[in-house]
Structure formats: structure tokens, C-alpha cells
Amino acid sequence: MSHSVHAPNNPLTRFITQDENCWQLNQYQMQGGYDGLKRALTVSGPAVLDEIKESNLRGRGGAGFPTGLKWSFVPQGDDAPHPKYMIVNADEMEPGAYKDRLLLEKTPHQIIEGLIIGGYTLDADIGYIFIRGDYYTAIKHIEIALKECYDNNLLGKNILGSAFNFEIHIHTSAGRYICGEETALINSLEGKRANPRAKPPFPQVAGLWGKPTIVNNVETYCNLPHIINFGASWFKSLGRFKDAGTKIFGVSGRVKTPGLWELPMGTPIGEIIDNYAGGMCDGYKLKGFLPGGGSTDFLLEKHFDTPMDYDEIGKQKSRMGTGTIIILDDKYCPVAMVLNLVKFFAQESCGWCTPCREGLPWAQVLLEKIEQGKGELSDIKQLEDLCKFAAPGNTFCALAPGAVEPLQSALIYFRDDFELHISQKSCPYCSEAYSEDINDQ
């Protein structure tokens, strides 16, 4: 498969301009939009899949599973069951994550093009964009973009004069964090309660309505047009470490310029925080940070040289997750921060398994007790035990293991803060001056 030579360094955001209408079809096509689809339609689906495998694209939703490998499990051939489904998980509910919203609002056609390419690759019939219900602007833009596609033979029957037929529907979610788990999302799409399913069978074989189904994140699909258009070798060359391509990284918290940036995979954490986010606000120091959203383990300034690379962050006993960094400054209580996260996860538990249903609310009770100055040292031991009970392999899905990641790491890195709450019988961060500072924000 030959490829274009004028390949961009910022494939995901190159369509985003100062023009407020940059999300519309004519603007997207003027910059090369749907060229990847046109190229894909000139070769076979298996050839496209080989290119995706060769690119080493890893899922951008958090787990980082190789996309081409995941797709290779979908049955192919004349005997394969139909319809087959492709689903975009746009139900961005991870605390601290807002990268998909940028793509949904500013480049809806990029997502649609990636979804169509995915459908062609696996001989699928129907696509769904499962989107967070309160992303109002994004929903509006996607609805218009889908109409533009149908009006211009980019969707429906015989797409662009080929023999390929594909339909896309948009589904607005009621908003539950558990829908980040792909089988819970599938249950929700079927109109059922959003509980995870037992695996196997895996969705690639028996997913939506019992048919072969692929679920991937918004950002994952957005990479596909560029991989097909510019080639696997180009995509791999973009990364600065082992992982291929670029990623949209974000930083929130008390930094000078919080926001989102498309950067090469493997960009060091310290470079993102200091060079792009501008470093800490005046008068504040870094205490710690969550590297990939609210369900990842805390890291410290000593980890600044770590590349934003799935395996490298794993070596530091955390996860890259969504790549959206949440800053903890030296004037904010780590116990209060962890309590806020655990409270969210306890509320979002589907209640399907005991460690999650019972463990997370009890962790919330213990953390509230400590934060209010009523804690005992034995409460810390109980929290450590709860983290073990909710560890991977002890729960039905990954919600509870992710929920306790900030807690288990906080108990290691900020243990003195927990013990100080107990010995002082109050939150040491809740001085009058600190309270006034918080109220001013």
C-alpha cells in the first residue's frame, strides 16, 4: 500500500483551525478529510487490518490494548454472522478527562471517517456512536456531520461508488461511568441495565444482540484515517519511545496554563507539566499527580522523566489511562482529594459484585471519618485491606480496581497526611488562611 509523502506531525488536531466551522464537511475535506477512506476502499479489508496491526496502534480509552489484535478476533468470511457492529465509546465519564470532547466537537468527521474505515475493515454493517448525553454541542455537530455524510454518499449504500454499505446511528447515554466497560456499554445500548457481562464470550464474537462487535474509544478511531493515508511506518515514527503515534494529553489543577495538547507518545511527564501546562501557579508547589485521570495511582515529581508510554508508566506502578493529568498541589488535602474520587466511584458502581458494591461505600465512610478528624489508626489498616479486596482478579470488572488506585497510592506517598489528620483530630489543611484561599478560587 503506497502512501502520501506530506504526512503531518499532528494528525489528530490538524483539522482544528480558528474557523468556527472547521468541524463541517467542506472544511474537513479541504484539508484531506476522507482521503483515508478513499484509500482504504481501493484495497481489501484484510489489507487494511494488516496496516493497523503493523502501526502498533493501542487503544486510547485507557487500557492500551493493541487495536489490530483486538480486531483480528472478529469472525470473517462467508460464514461469519451478520450484522456486525462497530461502536465508538464517546461516554467520557473518567474524572479529569476531557480529551474526547475536543475531538467530538471540533472534528466529528474524523471520528466518522475512522468508524467507516473500521466497518469496511471488518465487513461490518452498522456503527453506533455512544455519546455522553450532556455533550450537547458535540451531539449537535455529530448529527449534522452524519447528515452531511449521507447527503454525499459517504454513508449508506455503495459508499463512494464501492460495494460497501454502512450505516451509523448516534445514541445519547444517560451518563454512567460503568459504561466505560465495553460489555456494560453494550447492555446499555440494548436497553438493559449497564452491568458488565461475563467473558468469554468476548464482544468480538458475541456482543451487541449476540453478534460480533467492536468497541473502541473516540481517539482510537480518529487515528485510523491517518494510518491508512500515511502508513504504519509514519505512525510509528511519531512516537518518542516504544508506543506509536501521537496522543492528546491534558493537565488540570493549579498550573498556569491547563489544557489539552497533541504530543508524541512517550513525551516525558515533566515536559507536559512544565513546558505545556506552564508549571505550577505562583505560590503553589507540586505534591503529586494522577497521570491518567481519576482512576490511576498517584506519582510524584521524581517521576517527571517517565515517558507517557503505557508500559513505562506501568513500571512506576501507575497507568497512563486517558493521559489527562490531574495535579495535586501542596495546599490541597490529599485525603479530601481521594475522598472526592472514592465518593464518585462508589456512586457509579453498578452494584454487581461485593468488593465494589460494599467496599467502595465503606472506604468513603472511613475517609470521611479521617477527614473530619474522627479517624483512628486502625482505619488506615482497613483502607489498605479494602484496596487488596478490590484488586484486579477480585472483582467482576475494572471499576473497583481503578477506584482504589488513587487511594492505595495516597496511603503510600501521603501517609503522613493521613496520620496527621488522626493525631490532630482535624484536617491540617483546613486552617483559616487555607479556607479563605479555597473560597477565592
Q: Say yes or no to pLDDT of 405 above 60.
A: yes
Res 438: pLDDT: 43
- What is the rounded distance in angstroms from the CA atom of residue 14 to the CA atom of residue 265? 17
Residue 440 binned pLDDT confidence (cut-offs 50, 70, 90): very low
Phi, psi of 277, deg, nearest 5: -85, -5
Kindly report, as residue ranges, where domains of CATH 3.10.20.600 are found in the chain. Answer: 240-330
The 259-264 sheet, strands edge to edge = 259-264, 246-252, 324-329, 286-290
| Contact by Cβ (8 Å): 324, 252 | yes
Q: What's the pLDDT tens digit per position in 342-363?
A: 999 999 999 999 999 999 999 9
Res 249: pLDDT: 97
Q: Say yes or no to pLDDT of 245 above 70.
A: yes
Residue 431 binned pLDDT confidence (cut-offs 50, 70, 90): low
Mean pLDDT, residues 283-305: 97
Whether residue 200 has a cis bond before it, omega within 30° of 0: yes
Residue 271 binned pLDDT confidence (cut-offs 50, 70, 90): very high
Residue 85 binned pLDDT confidence (cut-offs 50, 70, 90): very high
Q: What's the pLDDT tens digit per position in 11-68?
A: 999 999 999 999 999 999 999 999 999 999 999 999 999 999 999 999 998 888 999 9
Res 154: pLDDT: 98
- Report yes or no on whether pTM surpasses 0.75: yes
DSSP 117-128: HHHHHTT--EEE
Closest CA to 180 of 331, 370, 345, 359: 345
Please state, rounded to an integer, the average pLDDT across all residues of the chain.
94
Q: What's the pLDDT tens digit per position in 150-198?
A: 999 999 999 999 999 999 999 999 878 999 999 999 999 999 999 999 9
Mean pLDDT, residues 113-139: 97
Exposed, middle or buried, 63 (CB in 10 Å: 0-12/13-18/19+)? Answer: middle
C-alpha count within 13 angstroms, C-beta hemisphere, residue 259: 11
Residue 3 binned pLDDT confidence (cut-offs 50, 70, 90): low
- What is the rounded distance in angstroms from the CA atom of residue 74 to the CA atom of residue 92? 25
Secondary structure class of 194 (helix, strand, coil):
coil
Residue 433 binned pLDDT confidence (cut-offs 50, 70, 90): very low
Q: Say yes or no to pLDDT of 311 above 80.
A: yes
C-alpha count within 13 angstroms, C-beta hemisphere, residue 142: 30
Kindly report, as residue ranges, where domains of CATH 3.40.50.11540 are found in the chain. Answer: 25-238
Q: Say yes or no to pLDDT of 208 above 70.
A: yes
Closest CA to 360 of 375, 378, 348: 348
Residue 39: Cβ within 10 Å count: 20
Q: How far is CA 91 from CA 135, 260, 311, in A?
A: 9, 18, 25
- What is the rounded distance in angstroms from the CA atom of residue 120 to the CA atom of residue 45? 6
Whether residue 46 has a cis bond before it, omega within 30° of 0: no
Q: Say yes or no to pLDDT of 381 above 90.
A: yes
Residue 279 binned pLDDT confidence (cut-offs 50, 70, 90): very high
Q: Say yes or no to pLDDT of 141 above 70.
A: yes
CATH number of 25-238: 3.40.50.11540
Evaluate whether the domain defined by 332-441 bears CATH number 3.40.50.12780: no
Kindly report, as residue ranges, where domains of CATH 1.20.1440.230 are found in the chain. Answer: 332-441
Mean pLDDT, residues 395-415: 96
Res 375: pLDDT: 96
- What is the rounded distance in angstroms from the CA atom of residue 349 to the CA atom of residue 414? 26
Task: Quickly name the fold that domain 240-330 has.
Answer: Ubiquitin-like (UB roll) (3.10.20)
Q: Say yes or no to pLDDT of 84 above 50.
A: yes
C-alpha cell at 440: 477565592
C-alpha cell at 433: 488562611
